[in-house]
Amino acid sequence: MKLEHHYAALGDAFSSHVAIQPLHEQRLVECNQTLASFLEIDFKSPETRAILLGEESVPNSLSMVYAGHQFGGFSPQLGDGRGVLLGEIRAPDGRLYDLHMKGAGLTPYSRRGDGRAVLRSCIREYLASEAMAALQIPTSRALALFDSREAVYREIPEPGAMLLRSAHGHIRFGHFEYFFYQGKQDELQQLIDYCLKQYFPDALTAEQPLVAMLFEVVKRTAQMIAKWQSVGFQHGVMNTDNFSMTGETIDYGPYGFMEDFDEGWVCNHSDYEGRYAFSRQPGVGLWNLNCLMRCFSEHLSRDQLVAILQTYETQLQTHYDHLMMAKMGLQKQQDLHALLPPLLQLMSKEKMDYTLFFRLLSSLEQNDFAPILDEVIDREAMRDWLHEYQSVRLKEDGDWSSVSDAMLAVNPKFILRNYLAHEAIQAAERGDYLPFRRLLNVLNSPFADHDAANDLAQRAPEWGKSLEVSCSS
Ligand code: AMP
Ligand code: MG
């Protein structure tokens, strides 16, 4: 494992030196071999294990300091309260990847927290981030899961754990806010230069590199959120400290994947006002970008910043439309605009399962609507919609079955249902990781049939619909 230390080289204003503090009887229980080989990490190597288990410390490991708008209010100082950045690895694609351990112990930014993570939250992050990666959504990814015999106290004592994860970058919008609101323009400039060099090298050749970088951040954020909306992912805590400059989904907490379709759904039970409700995510993305842009008010004019922000909506809408057209097997945006709104209304009225509906639509025979009609109460309304849909599809190029094949390749059969995560967690807490591995396996290739795992592609039973998830874990 060849660790580099680029972020550490920025200096003390950006982080504090922190080492991994091992848990009692910590052991490696799962690792992501595909990603590990890509990053050339050998989990069998004694040196690597010693570093990851905190037996040997890395001279430059650190916790990052940042700020952030949390639920609309500004917190001038946050930071990795339980995370340690071990360093970066240069992968064969030439890019740097952060190696970050969650649950590694107290840091100067732990505030009232204990610096730890429980097995439940590490498993939730492992499953969700791998599911997102397989759905082609830029995301941090799980590399390894460690469990332990150490009790970590939440409402009740729970097994403590750590999650090793990797992302192209962990620099958050809140990093910029931290320096901007303290008037630390030199550090702000250092951070701009760092991001340009590490994440946006193409922007360096532009006439105004900062402007080019910000256009790209807006684009990546818009595309990330368009993808969330298309698969029904809800982040749950879209604070600016949980938004990465690289446009990767990070900080998996009380997230959720849409089951019964409901645009107003709020997955985070601590989000009392529904600030981060599913349908509000696109708007919050813009709100967060606005916070980020403010940090460059000494560098760029108001008009320039507004012009950059103005590209967001079109980027998001266009990307979302293309994703939804692919999901529905449509070729024209105008057809999507005619067919999608009434469909979503129907889905909402019928409380249809978002994932299963699109999968059913993908395998629908040209003249047999029964598989979908059998799922609804208002058969008349659904039949009308299906007729409209059918007539549009029949006017398009390509035969019905090849379009259906293309739809099956973009509409997952498997999604991370909350109750499935819950069952995998309960088993893992008893020391049985088989359900976790079985679930992970289908989430890693969610478009495949996995006939032996049909039980993992079903709607939640009643008890599984009311499970609560909230912020701190
Ligand atoms: P989040 O909204 O989950 O990203 O967390 C907000 C902040 O709280 C971040 O700075 C986290 O590092 C910190 N945090 C969350 N849980 C803990 C914990 N158990 N101990 C210390 N800090 C924590
Ligand atoms: Mg966070």
Check if 161 has its Cβ closer than 6 Å to any atom of ligand 1. Answer: no
Beta strands 73-79 and 233-234 are: unpaired
Amino acid at the residue 48? T
Torsion of CA 416, 418, 424, 429, to 10 degrees: 140
Q: Calculate how far, in angstroms, residue 12's C-alpha sits from the geometric centre of ligand 2.
A: 21
Residues serving a catalytic function are 241
CB-based burial, 34-57: b 16+ in 10 Å, e otherwise? ebbebbebebeeeebeebbbbeeb
What does pLDDT average to in each consecutive run of 10 residues of the chain (473 residues)?
A: 96 97 97 97 96 93 98 98 98 96 98 97 98 98 98 96 97 98 98 98 98 98 98 98 98 97 96 97 98 98 98 98 98 98 98 98 96 97 98 93 97 98 97 98 98 97 86 69
Q: What is the dihedral of CA 195, 197, 202, 204, to 10 degrees?
A: 100
Q: Which of 36, 62, 67 is nearest to 49 (CA)?
A: 36
Which sequence spans correspond to the domains of the chain? 3-167, 174-322, 332-397
Q: Whose CA is nearest to atom 2 of ligand 1?
A: 237
CA dist 210 and 193 (Å) reads 9
116 lines ligand 1 (CB under 6 A): yes
Say how far apart CA 103 and CA 83 lie, in whole Å: 6
Residue with tokens 């000494």: 298
**152 residue type, one letter:** V
Positive or negative, the Cα torsion across 460, 466, 472, 473? negative
| Per-residue exposure over 272-282, b if at least 16 CB sit within 10 Å of its own CB, e if not | eeebbbbebbb
Non-local (6+) Cβ contacts of 112 within 8 A are none
Q: What is the pLDDT of residue 103?
A: 98
Pocket lining: 108 vs ligand 1, CB cutoff 6 Å: no
- Closest ligand 1 atom to Cα of 107: 21
Say if ligand 1 is within 6 A of residue 167 CB. Answer: no
pLDDT for residue 471: 66
> pTM to 2 decimals?
0.98
**Six token digits for residue 322:** 């293309």
What residue owns the CA closest to ligand 1's atom 8? Answer: 81
Which are the contacts of 318, defined by CB distance < 8 A and separation ≥ 6?
A: none
Return the structure tokens found at 101. 């351990």
- The ligand placed nearest to the CA atom of residue 81 is 1
pLDDT at 466: 81
- The torsion angle over the Cα atoms of residues 90, 94, 95 and 99, rounded to 10 degrees, is -20
Q: For ligand 1, what atom is nearest to the CA of residue 237?
A: 2
| Cβ(353)–Cβ(259) below 8 Å | yes
Number of residues that make up the chain: 473
Residue 469, beta-bridge partner list: 268
Contact criterion met (CB below 8 Å) for 129 and 141 = yes
Tell the residue nearest (CA) to atom 22 of ligand 1: 81
87 lines ligand 1 (CB under 6 A): no
Q: Which of 23, 106, 110 to mutate to test the pocket of ligand 1 (most atoms within 8 A of CB)?
A: 110
366 contact partners, CB below 8 Å, separation of at least 6 = 390, 394, 400
HEC states along the chain? CCCECCCHHHCHHHEEECCCCCCCCCEEEEECHHHHHHCCCCCCCHHHHHHHCCCCCCCCCEEEEEEEEECCEEEEEEECCCEEEEEEEECCCCCEEEEEEECCCCCCCCCCCCCCEEHHHHHHHHHHHHHHHHCCCCECEEEEEEEEEEEEECCCEEEEEEEEEEECCCCEHHHHHHHHCCCCHHHHHHHHHHHHHHCCHHHHHCCCHHHHHHHHHHHHHHHHHHHHHHHCEECCCCCHHHEECCCCECCCCCCEECCECCCCCCCECCCCCCCCCHHHHHHHHHHHHHHHHHCCCCCCCHHHHHHHHCHHHHHHHHHHHHHHHHHHCCCCHHHHHHHHHHHHHHHHHHCCEHHHHHHHHHCCECCECHHHHCCCCCHHHHHHHHHHHHHHHHHCCCCHHHHHHHHHCCCCCCCCCHHHHHHHHHHHHCCCCHHHHHHHHHHHCCCCCCHHHHHHHCCCCHHHHCCCECCCC
Cβ pair 211, 300 in contact under 8 A: yes
